[in-house]
Structure 1
Amino acid sequence: MRLHRNLVFAVIDGLHEIFNEEEYADKIVQKLLKRDKRWGARDRSFIAETVYEIVRWKRLYAEIAEVKEPYSRENLWRIFAVWATLRGITLPDWKQIAPTPTRRIKGKFDELSKIRKYRESIPDWLDTLGETELKGKWEKEIAALNKQAPVVLRANTLVGDKKKVRSLLEDELIDTEFIKTYPDALQLTERANVFSTQAFKNGFFEVQDASSQLVAAFLDVKPGQRVVDTCAGAGGKSLHLAALMENKGQIISMDIYGNKLKELKRRARRAKAHNIETRVIESSKDIKKLIGKADRVLIDAPCSGLGVLRRNPDAKWKLQPEFLDTIRQTQKEILSSYSRMVKPGGKLVYATCSVLPSENEKQVKNFLQSEAGEHFSFVSDKKILSHESGFDGFYMALLTKKE
């Protein structure tokens, strides 16, 4: 592979913003890709994939490069040189790239690869936490969470089934394959920009990981019901619920962030989902209005996001132990408050995109033993680990409210 100066400079600029200015990797990559209109698909792919790879393996590469945060531009070039060397890329004779000891880099890589926290490039505290909570499964799980995530689509059955979606994408030279036991899922055989396709613009599909697609179905919704999606965000699961309900009944999509709900409205129009009403949660009054009035309630709770590290590798550097303590308390409060919206005989699903039992099974167990949870019965739960499923790590628990 021949390195192009303008592309590599874009990568270095992006890494500076992500590592030193604590910007989010996805937003920085989006910004970088708009820098030069002359760049083709291969150029954009190089920038995005290189940035994400270096972010993912930051600790390992920095240790090999013998640099520490905050990283100067010289440090970032040294980290880049490690990345390139380990991929067998010949480094150009640029003044920014110091003479690179290729043999030493490979030797140090072999040495550090024997130690999990370096091999999997994670902070010490996270490695300890994972080992404590997942015990014998952490080794395989963190390795799986460091792999690039597949691109999975969900056919929007309000518009067409997965066979229709597959056919439309074939017409646009994008190949997909069905995923067994996931009724509406298609996986891309090669990465491609599906957002530019006519099929996407016409609402035939959403990009949604296979594990995430299980959550709405787990709620067991029926056409004509009143369903509340309490932490709806930009609405991936609300849109799935609308499809499962065949646009019949009412979905109230709530969130504390109004800008996310605006995005949901835009997506709902494209998806032809007409039974979604958005409501911003501004105070406890917004919850009180719905107490005992919902057939189904989905709590897709805020969490550590450890189950989706493959998509957000910078999260492991931003995440702090104190945040985990805070988010567990938030989960407890949300479960206690929002569960009141379920009517007698109705159902509740509590879900997270975390793999930690302390955010999942333990939260549900503590809720059922609390005053708010005494009106509920446990039905079943699903624990999805990335190394077992090949998709994102997720958890979901189904509860019913006693008559």
Structure 2
Amino acid sequence: MRLHRNLVYTTIDSLNAIFNESEYADKVVARALKKDKRWGSSDRKFVAETIYEVVRWKRLYAEIAEVKEPYNREDIWRMFAVWAVLRGYPIPDWRQLDGTPERKIKGKFDELSKIRKMRESIPDWMDELGVKELGEEIWTKEIAAQNKPAQVILRVNTLNTTREKLHALLMDLNIETDFLTNQPDALVLKERANVFMTDAFKEGLFEVQDASSQLVAAFLDVQPGMRVVDTCAGAGGKTLHMAALMQNKGQLIAMDLYESKLKQLKLRAKRNGAFNIEYRIIDTTKVIKKLHEKADRVLIDAPCSGLGVLKRNPDDKWKLQPEFIDNIRKIQSEVLESYSKIVKPGGKLVYATCSILPSENQEQIAKFLKTEIGQQFKLERDCKILSSESGFDGFYMALLERKNV
């Protein structure tokens, strides 16, 4: 086990882009993996996992390395040295790593690991907010779970294949998967693999979608022939799942504020063979008003803090700010009041977030039910998913039915 100079240099360049140029980690990693076509799967794995690891543990590594933001290139090398020592790599005789204090690094790691905000490498405000909303015990377990690398989960596109057929097809490609109990459309990769390069992906046999996210469409109880509206469709992972559950029968309206996201969804829908989807940009309030009381089912996959998906977006720990969360709560309330009017009497609505904070979830629903429009709804059930209990993303879903009045 040794460090290779070209892989490490790419890692350092990538970390510089994330830490100092405000680029998103997933975009930086995708670019890094295209740098050298000669790299094998183990090389690519090293680059991707190392970048994410240093981003995930940024605060802890910076503290151990005794560097402060903004980080210059030398600082990033020192943080990388901390990662290498803690991962058991022999330190090579390179100028940038000269004088790496291995014993001191290990000693400081043991010392700082006794403090949660250092051990879990999170900002002070995030630690305080987590304790305030979830309590010491649950927050301690949850933030530890959020620091574990995310598993790769596939959602089988039942418009084109079955779970058993896809499982066998991937096995022939030496990609091993496991079935997930109680989730009929899910397969879990045993080891990370570039599934996007397979013909199975290009032919629309599956999408990559976390197990928690896959629960939402079924929770909404969509059926073939219904009129369903996905009000915050984005690039459409849940839209495509609903299209499959509807067997391409009925009308599925995908809405979003951003045309660019709906263009992505159109491309994905074409690959998936999902042809019952209509696309509408929310550019005026008229778009919503035209649909008032017209839908059997409405999904509000609300904008949120994303504190349930830090394991797959570790750079969000550093990009998120407390004022953003304050603002997003107001937007959630407004969206819930406005878009709920689309549900017809007797119809149903799901409000979902990938957050674990009660203030974005249960408290939003309780507040909504007291509003003028909210009094026309009743809460059927809700579901709170913690990563520490499920092993997957943290999520929240509430199913509401509009009363026949």
Q: TM-score normalized by structure 2?
A: 0.99
- Letter of the aligned partner of 2:295 in structure 1? A
The amino acid of 2:123's aligned partner reads: P
Specify the SS of the correspondent of 2:161: coil
Contact 1:256 1:280 in 2 (8 A): yes
In the alignment, the residues of structure 1 paired with residue 297 and residue 327 of structure 2 have an alpha-carbon distance, to the nearest angstrom, of: 27
Q: Which residue number in structure 2 is paired with residue 361 of structure 1? A: 362
1:375 has 2:387 as partner: no
Deviations along 1:194-222, one digit per CA (max 9) or x if unpaired, are 11111111111111111000000000111
For residue 32 of structure 1, report the CA deviation from its aligned partner. 1.1
Give the Å deviation of 1:269.
0.8
Q: Which residue of 2 aligns with 1:55?
A: 55
Q: Say whether the 8 Å CA contact 1:342–1:348 is kept in structure 2.
A: yes
Paired residue for 2:44?
44
Matched residue SS, 2:244: helix
Aligned partner letter, 1:126: M
Asked if structure 2 preserves the Cα contact closer than 8 Å seen for 1:156 and 1:240, the reply is yes
Distance 2:106 2:97 in 1: 17
Task: Provide the C-alpha distance between the structure 1 equivalents of 2:361 and 2:71, rounded to a whole number of angstroms.
Answer: 36
| Residues 1:219 and 2:220 are matched in the alignment | yes
> May I ask how many residue pairs the two structures share in their alignment?
403
Alignment pair present for 1:86 and 2:86: yes
CA distance in 2 between partners of 1:223 and 1:5 (Å): 55
Question: In the alignment, residue 83 of structure 1 is paired with which amino acid?
Answer: W
- Structure 2 equivalent of residue 134 of structure 1: 134
Give the Å deviation of 1:376: 0.7
Q: Which amino acid aligns with 2:32?
A: L
Counterpart Cα distance in 1 of 2:284 and 2:147: 39
What is the match of residue 401 of structure 2?
400
For 2:93 and 2:361, locate their aligned partners in 1 and report how far apart those are by CA, in whole Å.
52
In the alignment, which residue of structure 2 is the partner of 1:172? 173
Does residue 1:343 correspond to 2:344, yes or no? Answer: yes
1:285 equivalent to 2:278? Answer no
CA distance in 1, matches of 2:201, 2:163: 13
| Structure 1: distance between partners of 2:129 and 2:319 | 16
Residue 334 (structure 2) pairs with residue 333 (structure 1): yes
Structure 2 distance, partners of 1:155, 1:211, is 14
Structure 1: distance between partners of 2:151 and 2:89: 25
| Per-residue CA distance 1:108-152 (angstroms, 9 max, x = gap) | 000000000000000001001001111130000000000011111
Alignment of 1:106-125 (within 5 A): 106-125=106-125
Specify the code of the residue in structure 1 equivalent to 2:127.
D
In the alignment, what sits opposite 2:266?
265
Deviation at 1:45, TM superposition (A): 1.0
- 2:143 maps to 1:145: no
Q: Distance in 2 between matches of 1:47 and 1:284?
A: 46
Shift of 1:371: 1.3
SS at match of 1:170: helix
Establish whether residue 319 from structure 1 lines up as the match of residue 326 from structure 2.
Answer: no
Q: Decide whether the 8 Å contact of 1:78 with 1:98 is kept in 2.
A: no
Q: Which moved more, 1:95-104 or 1:312-321?
A: 95-104
Distance across 2 between alignment mates of 1:43 and 1:263: 30
Identity value in percent:
69
Secondary structure of the corresponding residue to residue 95 of structure 2: coil
Aligned counterpart, 1:194: 195
Deviation at 1:37, TM superposition (A): 1.9
Q: Distance in 2 between matches of 1:190 and 1:73?
A: 33
Q: Detail structure 1 runs of 4+ shifted over 3 Å in the superposition.
A: none
The 5 A counterparts of 1:236-255 are 236-255=237-256
Structure 2: tracts of 5 or more residues without a match = none
What amino acid sits opposite 2:156 in the alignment? A
Shift of 1:98: 2.9
Structure-1 separation of matches of 2:259 and 2:347: 27
> Which segments of 5 or more consecutive residues in structure 1 lack a partner in the other structure?
none
Q: Secondary structure at the match of 2:308?
A: helix
- SS in structure 2 at match of 1:307: coil
SS in 2 for 1:346: strand
Q: Following the alignment from structure 1 to structure 2, what is the Cα–Cα distance between the partners of residues 308 and 258?
A: 25
Instruction: Look up the SS of the partner of 1:308 in the other structure.
Output: coil
Contact 1:221–1:244 (8 Å) recurs in 2:
yes
- Greater shift after overlay, 276-285 or 103-112? 276-285
Residue 291 of structure 1 contacts residue 340 of structure 1 at CA under 8 Å; is this kept in 2?
yes
* Deviation at residue 5 of structure 1 after TM alignment: 1.1
